[in-house]
Amino acid sequence: MIAPFAKSARFFSLLLALCGTVTAQAAGSSADRLLSAAQTGVTVRDMSSPPVSSAVPGTYPVSILPIPTRVASGSTVRLQCGRTYFGTLNLVGKYNVSVRTEGACGKASITPGQALKGWTREQGNIYSAPIPFSPAQVGVAGKMLELAHFPNRPQIWAKAKSDSPSTLQYAMPSSDLAGATVVYRPFEWMIETRQIQSYSNGVITLGPKKGDAYDPPKEGEFYVEGKLWMLDSPGEWAVEGGRLYVWAPDGRSPEGRVWVSPTASGIDATDSRGVTIDNVHIFAASIGIDGSNSTDLQVLNTEIGNSAEDAIFAGGRGLVVDNAAISDSVQNGILGFYGIENSIVTNSLVTGTGMVGMPKRSKGGIVFEQASGQRVTNNKVLNSSYIGIRVHKNAIVSGNLVDRACQILSDCGGIYTFAPDKQPLNVRIEGNTVKNLAQRTCYAVYLDDNANGVTVTRNTLINNPGGLEMNNGFDNIVSQNVFTSSGYEHILLNETGHGISIRRNQISGNSFTSTRGEVTYRLWSVNGGSTVAQFANYEDNTYSGSGKGFAEVSGTGMLDYNGWKQKMKQDGRSVMKAGASRTGSEAPAPRTALEKMVGLAARFIRNASWGESSTAGR
């Protein structure tokens, strides 16, 4: 496993390390260099002309090479080890192209970003410099800054009311809001953005929404960003009148320390076939690698850091990601777009997805939405704002570690799948470890929206709010898993559809250990207790620590272990080990009856209001 490039000052250190080596590496005749390019099938600029120069930390001059241009199909793009290339590598429509680092002095880097100089002190600790484009990201000394926002941290969200789909009611401290962006939470699992048209008398009027975006709720959370008057704290930036304004985290001048990125990809492989990217580092791009509608795109031994949107975005078929290290993507780590087929993500590390700056919409660390034929194996997905791993049809999810997912958004899964069309998924979730999820309505394994044809086996699920949720699921197998220290319940079977929605599931051979007073099973149905007996067959399980609150069953209430067996008329071969559940500081606060009802009915309300496909836009 390669180490992630991460959000530290490492990429600036890499650029600094170039000092003193640039002249030597640029030696050689122009003809020699162009001959080498011709032999690889790549045409590059004549490097005898001065390279792009920038100032970076420590006020050292550093030379950055322009990205190779006019890449031919069938060629190999050989990048010099330890060097940084500026721009977007354009592979649109190309076929059978290889991009790789030559030499053993470290990965070659690609970035559309650049250093910015010419800073002037405005007032206090705020400095400004002219900027010729609208930046997507701004970093100082390796730390990405936040676009100036209101309210200020530590408060993140303000609370507003809305009496129409295009307005929010809140007394803002300034009327200068036209053109700013409002970020709001329509649901616990969603963050949306809209541009502000105007503000008057405590009413924020929003611009039109994009696509099928959700409207603001009648009462909900929001923040606004992007105006200069909001720049009032260290670690923020704003743009006005063609100038970038920055308040560095340490309050010092940003001169020689600023890295600014436009909205641009590192590598654009849209509509490509047979492109291989090997042993390359990409940083500070909007999309690290754009593989829209690509075929057989391979990303090997590659690091992608600080992507303003996605590290890898791919559609088409045949994506392979192997031994990659992806860190600090603002929205998504690896995103397989609708309809993508036959994808492999293996032996890779995905960290900090959706955890950079203020909260933004994120779908997850490794995400395949409407997809078929995924193999997600032996990866580590750490510290994600939303889902860790999401797959769809004909998928294997095996040998992965998901740790600290669902840090910001809720109604979330460490490993998630769904079947809004009710067709068999043919998904196997096997031998994974999922632990330390954060929000209340989050589950280590989440089988949502009529998930069926899923086998969940030999997984280790530790210290999560919930172990497994099945929402209207049927014909699933849950076997030989280890559930330990779930905050509220080990398994939630949640029936929100009228009639018999949950049925013919098998729950057998599992080990359940309750250490916090959590129940083992929570069976909830909009139909009351009339259908719960058909939810699943339970057998050959091992239980410990549940005490009197072993299961809560809709229409019946709380049951101890013996009451459970009598009620369900099964689990006869299962074993209850001796031992009491812990209480006190380790136990979550007990929920009131109202809290239980609200929490378990949330998805029923969502599905009833927006239809069974409402989660497709997550």
Helix or strand (DSSP H, E) at 23 = helix 22-25
Contact of 495 with 535, CB cutoff 8 Å = yes
In a 10 Å sphere around its CB, with 0-12 CB exposed, 13-18 middle and 19+ buried, how is residue 162 labelled? buried
Decide if 424 is inside a domain.
yes
Decide if 394 is inside a domain.
no
Q: Tell me the β-bridge partners of 455.
A: 428, 477
Would you list the DSSP string of 161-216?
E-SSTTEEE---S-S--TT-EEEEEEETTEEEEEEEEEEETTEEEE-PPPTTPPPP
Strand ranges for 509-568 from DSSP E = 511-513, 519-525, 536-539, 542-544, 551-553, 557-559
Decide if 114 is inside a domain.
no
Provide the pLDDT for residue 506. 98
What distance in Å separates the CA atoms of residue 415 and residue 63, rounded to the nearest whole number? 44
Among 397, 383, 378, which residue's Cα sits nearest to residue 436?
A: 383
Provide the pLDDT for residue 212. 87
Parallel, antiparallel or unpaired: strands 395-398 and 427-430: parallel
What distance in Å separates the CA atoms of residue 522 and residue 502, rounded to the nearest whole number? 13
Provide the pLDDT for residue 142. 87
Helix or strand (DSSP H, E) at 599 = helix 593-610
Provide the pLDDT for residue 56. 35
What distance in Å separates the CA atoms of residue 397 and residue 368, rounded to the nearest whole number? 12
Report residue 475 as tokens. Answer: 């014909």
Q: Measure Cα distances from 361 to 190, 213, 309, 354 in Å.
A: 6, 11, 10, 8
Distance of CA 490 to the CA centre of its chain: 25
pLDDT in tens, 457-470: 999 999 999 999 99
Calculate the dihedral angle through the C-alpha atoms of 403, 408, 414, 415, rounding to the nearest 10 degrees. Answer: -140
Contact of 76 with 31, CB cutoff 8 Å = no
pLDDT in tens, 335-394: 999 999 999 999 999 999 999 999 999 999 999 999 999 999 999 999 999 999 999 999
Decide if 344 is inside a domain.
no
Contact of 576 with 505, CB cutoff 8 Å = no
Residue-number span of the structural domain to which 530 is assigned? 410-429+439-618
Provide the pLDDT for residue 144. 94
Report residue 609 as tokens. Answer: 């209001």
Decide if 541 is inside a domain.
yes
DSSP reduced 3-state for 566: helix
Decide if 557 is inside a domain.
yes
Exposure string for 501-531, b = 16+ CB within 10 A, e = fewer: bbbebebbbbbbbbbbbbbbbbbbbbbeeeb
Contact of 147 with 273, CB cutoff 8 Å = no
Provide the domain count of the chain.
1
Provide the pLDDT for residue 548. 75
Total count of residues recorded for the chain: 618
What distance in Å separates the CA atoms of residue 17 and residue 477, rounded to the nearest whole number? 54
Decide if 614 is inside a domain.
yes
Report residue 44 as tokens. Answer: 């590059």
Q: What is the CB neighbour count within 10 angstroms for residue 248?
A: 23
Provide the pLDDT for residue 497. 84
Contact of 319 with 341, CB cutoff 8 Å = no
Decide if 321 is inside a domain.
no
Tell me the average confidence (pLDDT) per consecutive run of 10 residues in the chain, 618 residues long.
Answer: 39 39 29 30 30 32 80 98 96 98 96 94 97 95 95 95 96 97 96 97 95 94 98 97 97 95 97 98 97 98 97 98 98 96 98 96 96 98 98 98 97 97 98 96 97 98 98 98 97 92 97 95 94 96 88 95 94 84 37 42 40 41
